Structure 1
Amino acid sequence: MSTFTDDEITAALSDLPGWSADGDAITKTYEFADFRAALDFMNRAAGPIEEMDHHPEWTNVYNRVEVRLSSHDVGEVTSRDTRLATVLERVADAS
């Protein structure tokens, strides 16, 4: 799988509000009403994540879920990361 150039990352992120480039990854912090809503987001995202077989680095602290996406097998951002970011956006919008 080919990695994205900085310009390709910038272009992809223009369609992903709140996402930003961070070294060899793209990141976003989601904020929800409370812990239960944050955990619900993670649980609803788990199915699509498993289907994609591309797992995020993410942490949950109370109402926040911090997500970091990078294709570890190539060490940089690829289309798998932006596709997963798009899926996470859909899941978050359904909250």
Structure 2
Amino acid sequence: MKLKYIIVGIILLLFILSSSSNFLDSNRIAVLEINGVIDNPKDYLKSIDNISKDSKIKGLIVRIDSPGGTVGSSQEIYESLKDIQKKNPCSCKYY
């Protein structure tokens, strides 16, 4: 009788471990926060580039809390987001 419970326990443990590894390998959605004045886009562009190179990321949410910034910097971020949208869905929220 004890052997039966041990075997069932081992089977359940193996099932749980195999399920958790599949969960870790699943697709992801990235979140990019843009806060404050947009005057230097380097960090944002690097983040967007890293997101576009990660094959596990299947979508991007961009949260923007900014009063604005320089035209050139904002345009660079916009163009980079347009490029990533060709590969992954991208959604922006402004506040």
Higher helix share goes to which structure? 2
Structure with larger Rg: 2
Q: Same fold (TM over 0.5)?
A: no
The TM-score, its normalising length taken from structure 1, stands at 0.27
Instruction: Say which structure, 1 or 2, has more relative contact order (CA 8 Å, 6+ apart).
Output: 1
